[in-house]
Structure 1
Amino acid sequence: METISRVKFCLYTWGANSYGQLGQGHVEDQSLPQVADITTLQAEVTCAISGGGGHSVVITENGKVFVCGQNNKGQLGLGHTIDIYTLELCPGLRQKITNVSCGWDFTLLLSDTRQILACGSNKFGQLGIGETLQHSANWLIVESIKDPVVSAAAGLRHSLAVTASGFVYQWGTGLFSHAKRVLSVSKVPSHLTSKLPCLVPGLEEKAPCMVTAGMAHCSYLTENGDLFMWGSNKHGQLMSSDPFVSSPISLKRCLLGGEKIIYAWSGWTHNVIQTESGRVFTWGRGNYGQLGHMVSTNHTSKLLSHDFVTEGGSQETCLPAEVKALRGATQIACGSEHNLATVGSCLLSWGWNEHGMCGDGSHTDVLEPCLIPRLNPLVIGCGAGHSLALCTVTAPSR
């Protein structure tokens, strides 16, 4: 009898697993990719994956939401605060969901009606609902943004959104402590202190593409290929001479060979962008290898210390450098200090590896993109210290 190959899908997860965020039914870290329990997903096709400090969220093509992991602040949106060790369907969502971004202990969803839904911790106002709740285990609509939202991003303790009309909003006070170290409290702009969505000045009348959020920095990419950045510059992630930048500044295209940027990603303290020709550049903190290229010890140590700033010196600028192994990447995902990328049919990882999130079987930091063998990735995602990849597996059938 002739044997015919059929394709099935498997969700592989690895890295930190203290709260069951790998969806494998236990809480043991994994330094090699292992198959997650996706019984509840059944025949659902995954279109987006994201992770937070200890939780994971999977979005399917038909707009369903599946979650697992840490839930102490209700960040899974299940109506309770019990941790979940395998993927579970979020019940009661009346809208189809198209995308997701996870903060440390909160979650933002983008619906097909272009609204933002939020749940989890609101201690810093990161849910965008004001100060009415410290946390929510139920999904809440961010009602004060009236225009259709095209992109949303969750940082450590702050959130961003950009609307179809090109207005960029920020909320959550996660950047306030960074700002007040440099600025007097009276000079900290309102978009860094608001617990409701607040317009970020200086970005009006620009065609929107997407927003990204790091631990304490922000970026906004326009359809014209211009990247604007603001927030903490402690590790050179804004390429400024100032330790904190309160108003958006633009990345000069001459640093990228004059090319337009078509996509941007943020880790906690580093940035990754891809240009129109497929070239990938990184900059910011690099001491864990998260930039995918060698950073000089002198340069790194200088970026990690602020003594030279407080003593009146000028901070060294960290410039974008191309990671040639990533040219032509079709997907990139950033965790806190590690990354994943798909190049052709290959899955690559690099950066911080303390919990095995680079998937090479070790706990040694990976300094440049390295192949994770035997996986054929379709959709990839990162949490702060864990990794996820939906892969195809060809199995014989008769």
Structure 2
Amino acid sequence: MEESKKLEKKDESEQRVWSWGAGTEGQLGTKILQDELFPRLLHQPSLSSISSLACGGAHVIALTSAGKALSWGRGNSGQLGHGEIVSNALLPKAVMSLDGYFITHVAAGWSHSGFVSDTGCVFTCGDGTFGQLGHGDYASHCLPVKLSCFVDQRVVQVACGMRHSLVLLKDCTRTQVYGFGSGKRGQLGVGNNKVKSVNFPRVVNGFEDDEIVGIAANGDHSAAVSVDGHAYTWGRGFKGFEDAHLPHCLNSSLNFIKVTLGWNHALAMSAEGEVYMLGGNHPGVLNISPPAKHLPESREVNLERVPGLDGMKITDIATGAEHSVIVTGKMTWGWGEHGQLGLGDTCDQMSPVTVSLGYDLNGAESIKVFCGSGFTFVVTIPLILLKL
């Protein structure tokens, strides 16, 4: 047999992870407690097989392709899940108590974390003073604890906001979303404006027969996307609008596939690779005209297409507290105080600006972006080529 006909696998590129922005609590994984104004390539062997990341207030959770969870950064409330209170952890460390599970989804809030296994179990740890861990009390935990109320059900996703959490359940016939934690701005979606906090999961109403396939939480906001491309938001009203205590479907004919949330804004990506923004005129959204005045009872959200992206197909989006990142040349904008825009300075940007990673990404199969409160991560997935 001729050698030229033998199949050989070869890695044309290695997986790479970059981070920048706020780093004074170890969240960048650089081993240094300082902000980084430019993207910095991490040299961490433990991050060589990352499939996803979750970025919170000042901590990060990484999910590997082998179903393992790693965490680092601020750990003052037990949100790292290592069984102890630490001011910060400089290096990724495995969440050992979950070793018996294959983890498929992770989430990071301001000071709490969530984990979902392939068997449908959901675990939470960290700050529980608002009931955001969902265990029926207001206790905090340094190790991930399984939510007993879902023991006979299948959880597929978890999302963590500032002080609240969402979980997405799926069975053979339907999906359901549950919320718990702080609810004073309506972010739990229970339809009661007198609910201040809930320490046990309660079902989110308002989706009717729509099948939800994705959930998101940040700040006092919540969001969901359905299989039919409908996008829902609820919780704290975007600038100029009142709070919504039930999910509100965006008034659009677009087919949305992803929604990400900041503290005062949101991004929504369509199946066609277009990106739209929700919110008013402030850093993190864009320098657009503020929404027109609405009647007090109005809950219509101002939806605008991000300008300057004509002819570009967006492949991923992420939002931090007050900044945004999209993948099509890795553009960023918004609040820049900690260098989270990756442009080498601490200036705000009111329109998308391209970030240079100092590396040719043409060989990357995919590029994923993740944002925390004042910091940014980029992960590339290598392209494996088969050669004769």
Any idea what the Cα deviations from partners look like across 1:106-132, whole Å, max 9, x if unmatched?
111222112221111001111111215
Would you tell me which structure has more helix in proportion to its own residues? Answer: 1
Amino acid at match of 1:244: D
Deviation of 1:27 (Å): 0.6
Preserved CA contact (<8 Å) 1:168 1:203: no
Amino acid at match of 1:167: Q
Among 332, 335, 341, the residue aligned to 2:326: 341
Amino acid at match of 2:322: E
Distance of 1:357 and 1:187 partners within structure 2: 37
Deviation of 1:221 (Å): 1.4
Distance of 1:220 and 1:6 partners within structure 2: 37
Aligned residue number for residue 22 of structure 1: 28
Aligned residue number for residue 3 of structure 2: none
Aligned residue number for residue 175 of structure 2: 166
Superposed CA RMSD in Å reads 2.7
Matched, 1:368 2:351: yes
Any idea what the Cα deviations from partners look like across 1:8-57, whole Å, max 9, x if unmatched?
2332111001111111111111110112341333xx42111121111111
Distance of 2:143 and 2:281 partners within structure 1: 37
Deviation of 1:391 (Å): 3.7
* Structure 1 counterpart SS, 2:75: coil
Distance of 1:280 and 1:170 partners within structure 2: 27
Deviation of 1:386 (Å): 0.7
Distance of 1:19 and 1:334 partners within structure 2: 20
* Structure 2 counterpart SS, 1:7: coil
Q: Using structure 2 for the length normalisation, give the TM-score.
A: 0.84
Among 78, 83, 107, the residue aligned to 2:113: 107
Aligned residue number for residue 315 of structure 2: 330
Distance of 1:221 and 1:392 partners within structure 2: 25
Amino acid at match of 2:230: D
Distance of 2:381 and 2:156 partners within structure 1: 29
Distance of 2:12 and 2:204 partners within structure 1: 50
Deviation of 1:104 (Å): 0.3
Q: How many residues align?
A: 357
Among 251, 261, 269, the residue aligned to 1:266: 261
Distance of 2:380 and 2:347 partners within structure 1: 25
Distance of 2:382 and 2:345 partners within structure 1: 24
How does 1:25-64 map onto structure 2 within 5 Å? 25-41=31-47, 44-64=48-68
Distance of 1:317 and 1:162 partners within structure 2: 25
Deviation of 1:363 (Å): 0.4
Aligned residue number for residue 229 of structure 1: 233
Among 344, 352, 356, the residue aligned to 2:335: 352
Preserved CA contact (<8 Å) 1:49 1:379: no
Deviation of 1:328 (Å): 2.0
Preserved CA contact (<8 Å) 2:269 2:317: no
Q: Structure 1 vs Structure 2: percent identity of aligned residues?
A: 25
Distance of 1:248 and 1:5 partners within structure 2: 45
Deviation of 1:138 (Å): 0.2
Among 101, 112, 115, the residue aligned to 1:95: 101
Aligned residue number for residue 248 of structure 2: 249
Distance of 2:377 and 2:60 partners within structure 1: 9
Q: Using structure 1 for the length normalisation, give the TM-score.
A: 0.82
Amino acid at match of 1:250: C
Aligned residue number for residue 65 of structure 1: 69
Deviating more after overlay: 20-29 vs 215-224: 215-224
Any idea what the Cα deviations from partners look like across 1:211-246, whole Å, max 9, x if unmatched?
11131121221111112222111525xxxx5x2221
Among 365, 375, 384, the residue aligned to 1:386: 375
Distance of 2:331 and 2:263 partners within structure 1: 19
Distance of 1:222 and 1:179 partners within structure 2: 20
Unaligned regions of 5+ residues in structure 1, if any? 181-185, 304-308
Unaligned regions of 5+ residues in structure 2, if any? 1-9, 384-388
Deviation of 1:206 (Å): 2.2
Aligned residue number for residue 284 of structure 1: 279
